[in-house]
Amino acid sequence: MSTLEVKDLHVEVVDDEKKTAREILKGVNLIMNTGEIHAIMGPNGTGKSTLSQTIMGNSAYHVTKGDILLDGESILQMPVDERARKGLFLAMQYPAEIQGVTNAEFLRSAINAKRPKDDQISVMAFLKELDKNLDLLDMNEAMTERYLNEGFSGGEKKRNEILQLLMIKPTFALLDEIDSGLDIDALKVVSKGVNSMRGDNFGSLIITHYQRLLNYIVPDVVHVMMGGRIVKTGDADLAKKLEREGYAGLRDELGIKV
């Protein structure tokens, strides 16, 4: 079992023009084990993406206090690629487009980056795995011969992120608004992909605005983030309650002023 722990995390971003720092995360605590799917919900601008970017190591986000631990080891000093090799994955972490690199080439090198030099994946094994996952996601094989993300529609990009997830097989996946802009059919396919990853060796943090996605990917734990903190944690019913009562209801219940 692996554990990802976020401990009293405080994060600032610097406004380049004004040269001032602003605290976005104000003491986030979270413990996630493999075998679990957690969801983070919360109003816009509350720091959800900041949390996922900081876990992945985006240097725009400065940790001023607290820690992020993977199996007890701090990852704060590790660059993004090292965190990826350690088993973290952020949907959207990869460049929008990589010129001259096909999707398949990209996937193979991403898989191999995680493996030792003397144990690289064979072309046959790679293609077999690729075929299986393309089938699962109702994706056309032609997608893999196109240049990465070049001219992909919004829906194709999302499906492709899930293809990356299935091929790279991270230990922990941070999925930030993978449901945004998807129609119901694409949402079902994306959910099927994530659900197929469920198991003892996989954990996921699903960030979403809406409860809808959580009808398809049922989380074990739901956290609500407001104002840079996790203000409530519960089970899947918490998401349903939020859908009924809105964030305003929760603010009232917790006595949080806007």
Q: Which stretch binds Mg ion (CB under 5 A): 1-9, 38-46, 126-134, 163-171?
A: 38-46
Radius of gyration of the chain, Cα coordinates, nearest whole angstrom:
19
The least CB distance from residue 13 to ligand ADP, in Å, is 4
Instruction: Choose which of 30, 32, 41, 49 interacts with Mg ion (CB under 5 A).
Output: 49
Taking the least distance from each CB to ligand ADP, the nearer of 35 and 66 is 66
Work out what residue 87 binds among ligand ADP, Mg ion, none; the CB cut-off runs from 5 to 8 Å by kind: none
# of chain residues touching ligand ADP (CB under 6 A): 11
Q: Which of residues 9-28 bind ligand ADP (CB under 6 A)?
A: 13, 24
Work out what residue 50 binds among Mg ion, ligand ADP, none; the CB cut-off runs from 5 to 8 Å by kind: ligand ADP
Q: Which of residues 54-73 bind ligand ADP (CB under 6 A)?
A: 60
Per CB under 6 A, does 241 bind ligand ADP?
no
Q: Which of residues 34-53 bind ligand ADP (CB under 6 A)?
A: 42, 44-50
Taking the least distance from each CB to Mg ion, the nearer of 107 and 206 is 206
The least CB distance from residue 117 to ligand ADP, in Å, is 35
The per-residue DSSP string of 212-245 comes to THHHHS--SEEEEEETTEEEEEE-HHHHHHHHHH
Q: Which residues bind ligand ADP (CB under 6 A)?
A: 13, 24, 42, 44-50, 60
The residues that touch Mg ion, with contacts defined as CB under 5 A, are 44, 48-49
